[in-house]
Amino acid sequence: MDLKIQPDNENIIRELCSSDRIPHTVIIEGSNKEERDSAAVILAAGAVCEERKRPCLCCTACHKVIENHHPDVFFPEPSKNLKSGILSLKDLRDNYLSQISVKPNEAPCKVYGFFDADKLLREDAQNALLKTIEEPPQDLLFIFTAESAKSMLLTVRSRARIITLRHTESTNDEGERIAEEMIDGIVSSYEYDLLCTLSSINDKEKLTDALTAFAEKLRQTLGFYSGVNTDDTAVRRLARKLDRGRAIALSDVSNEAVRILKTNVNLQLLTTWLSSQYRRITWQK
Ligand SMILES: [Zn+2]
């Protein structure tokens, strides 16, 4: 995988690796999915790296972790034939937990990493892991990532070291980029483009950033109608496509979505709703 992480956040993980002993259970929360996943992989590399200053990210062990074929590092995925995004208890038991007491092949420890653990592992699966987390063998590291550690079971959370990544400049840039894509979708004559952009967003913070940037463009578009000139091509394109009423309606829906995002909403349901609202407003005669 491509590691994408800001230096500040990478340093948080490196500090953890350089401490005497990496905690046996770590939850990585905050920032966006890309950074959380990268942080988890860097931490896993830190646990198995062959160099003294760990993780070097260039030795054979580190490479194997990054390419996800290290024999002692596991990042379980839901079954490929299931689109639910959930690792079933049976899958977890049969393919991972059953092997947990087997000694590592080549590294000093074994690592189990769970991306989006709050969604990947339902309560029954988290409970199944709990027994091992409560009395962890010396040579085992669990890494969970989640938007917020609070979405994990309290019993798991209370036994984990929680690492909070910082939001950084680049997440805003990412929001701007997605907002531009949304504007492409709005001005396009194919409704499907907008749906694709929205459904590709897999992270609440990212969607919040994108919607905030999009709402700002709409605000500038309303200013443009009132005679405030601008060189911003996105604003000019929106103004050409939309009348004032539609721009206001799009802005209202976007702000409403940002408000809903602060609640415990299902991201997929929200983007589906948002997409249908945008389409209704933009294309309805
Ligand atoms: Zn290394």
- State in Å: Cα 50 to ligand 1 middle: 5
Q: Would you state the pLDDT for residue 137?
A: 83
Q: Would you state the pLDDT for residue 200?
A: 87
Residue 85's nearest CA partner among 33, 32, 23 is: 33
3-state SS, residue 267: helix
- State in Å: Cα 85 to ligand 1 middle: 31
224 touches 233 (CB < 8 A): no
- State in Å: Cα 109 to ligand 1 middle: 14
Q: Would you state the pLDDT for residue 233?
A: 86
- State in Å: Cα 4 to ligand 1 middle: 17
pLDDT < 50 regions, the chain: none
Distances (CA, A) of 119 to 13, 108, 126, 239: 23, 29, 11, 39
- State in Å: Cα 33 to ligand 1 middle: 23
- State in Å: Cα 54 to ligand 1 middle: 6
Which tokens hold the place of 26?
């770590």
pLDDT digits (tens, 9 = 90+) for 86-144: 898 999 999 899 988 899 999 999 999 999 999 899 999 999 999 899 988 889 999 99
Q: Would you state the pLDDT for residue 83?
A: 59
Q: Would you state the pLDDT for residue 269?
A: 92
Q: Would you state the pLDDT for residue 10?
A: 93
- State in Å: Cα 5 to ligand 1 middle: 17
- State in Å: Cα 55 to ligand 1 middle: 5
Q: How far apart are CA 26 and CA 163, in angstroms?
A: 7
- State in Å: Cα 239 to ligand 1 middle: 52
Per-chain residues with Cβ under 5 A from ion ligand 1: 49, 51, 55-56, 59, 62
Give this prediction's pTM. 0.62
Distances (CA, A) of 12 to 8, 123, 160, 174, 229: 7, 29, 16, 22, 44
User: Domains in the chain and their CATH numbers?
Assistant: 7-165 (3.40.50.300), 169-283 (1.20.272)
pLDDT digits (tens, 9 = 90+) for 265-283: 999 999 999 999 999 998 8
Q: Would you state the pLDDT for residue 259?
A: 94
Q: How far apart are CA 25 and CA 36, in angstroms?
A: 15
